Amino acid sequence: MDLRRLYAGPPQSWPRPLLGPGAEFREFAPLPSLPAPGEREKALAAIGKRLFDDPRLSGSGQIACASCHSPELGLGDGLRTAFGHDRQRGRRNAQSLYTAAWMTPLFWDGRSPDLAEQALHPITDGAEMAATTETVLPRLNADTGYRTAYAALGQDRPITMKDVTAALAAHERTLRPPRSRWMQVFEKGTGVLTDRELLGLHLFRTKAGCAACHNGPLLSDQRFHNLGISFYGRRLEDLGRYEVTGKPEDVGRFRTASLLGVRKTAPYMHNGLFQTLDNVVALYNGGGGKDRQQPSGNVPVPSADPLVRKLNLTADERAALVAFLETL
């Protein structure tokens, strides 16, 4: 098979993706441009950056947003699951914020509709930053720098939590995934990929079935899927989307993560289960995890996702797929 010829043109001319039942495919494409920020938005984002780094947003005064979303760690924290207030270990992996400006809904379980609403959750969650309006706002209003910055925006009243979350959202809208050879594909063509990486792209699109969920500019369908790793009925149980909707079909479902910058965002999955991309590929190659099928309490038994199936990839094919993922 002459992959160089098959992938010589734009993505629309590439081999048709191999999709499963219910898949919603959008063609691969570069990230769309966001509206250019005005001067007020830039000033608000600058306030948001300072707030993002400020541990006074936490109850203890020791945890900042940047504690779990560090630029040096792929805008995550490099841990399997995040530490929070009083060193509590959270249930979920701190998601990278590389594509936060484009994603909706937000969080692994999709409980937030937008960035501003999302920003409030970790601040007030008792297991994360464990703050309250009563602890945070007096600290910020006593800070001359914050008061002056907000005054420059024409605000002559005390700072509110709505002001805080709006500024944090403005900052998060400035975050971008790192430049990659995948981005260069849309500028220069697939000649920027090695033969192994090109094979990986072909597998991603066809035999491996990755494109059924990881597609479009974000390499995410922004939908919810059950990969069989919710630990249903066990100590590390996390019911995912079900905890938001209460719908039986959502037990164990989590939102498809964007793969842009994935080489920098280990560990992987909602619970940080895997340290390497090779581990992730092995999970999918085996057909995903296996949820228990014995009922646990009043929670319905998880349903297997029809898009997750055994792939029968060879060792060379798995290596090519990982090589491609590292270009993203």
What does pTM read for this prediction? 0.95
pLDDT of residue 310: 97
- Report the chain's mean pLDDT, rounded to a whole number: 97
Name residue, tokens 């319905």.
Answer: 300
Confirm or reject CATH 1.10.760.10 for domain 3-31+178-325, answering yes or no: yes
Average pLDDT over residues 67-79: 97
Given pLDDT bands bounded at 50, 70 and 90, which one contains residue 140? very high
Average pLDDT over residues 243-265: 98
Average pLDDT over residues 43-63: 98
Residues of the chain with CATH 1.10.760.10: 3-31+178-325, 39-172
User: Does pLDDT of 1 surpass 90?
Assistant: no
Burial of 282: CB neighbours in 10 Å, binned 0-12, 13-18, 19+? middle
Average pLDDT over residues 68-80: 97
Burial of 179: CB neighbours in 10 Å, binned 0-12, 13-18, 19+? exposed
Average pLDDT over residues 282-296: 95
| Contact of 267 with 74, CB cutoff 8 Å | no
Average pLDDT over residues 250-271: 98
CATH code that applies to domain 39-172: 1.10.760.10
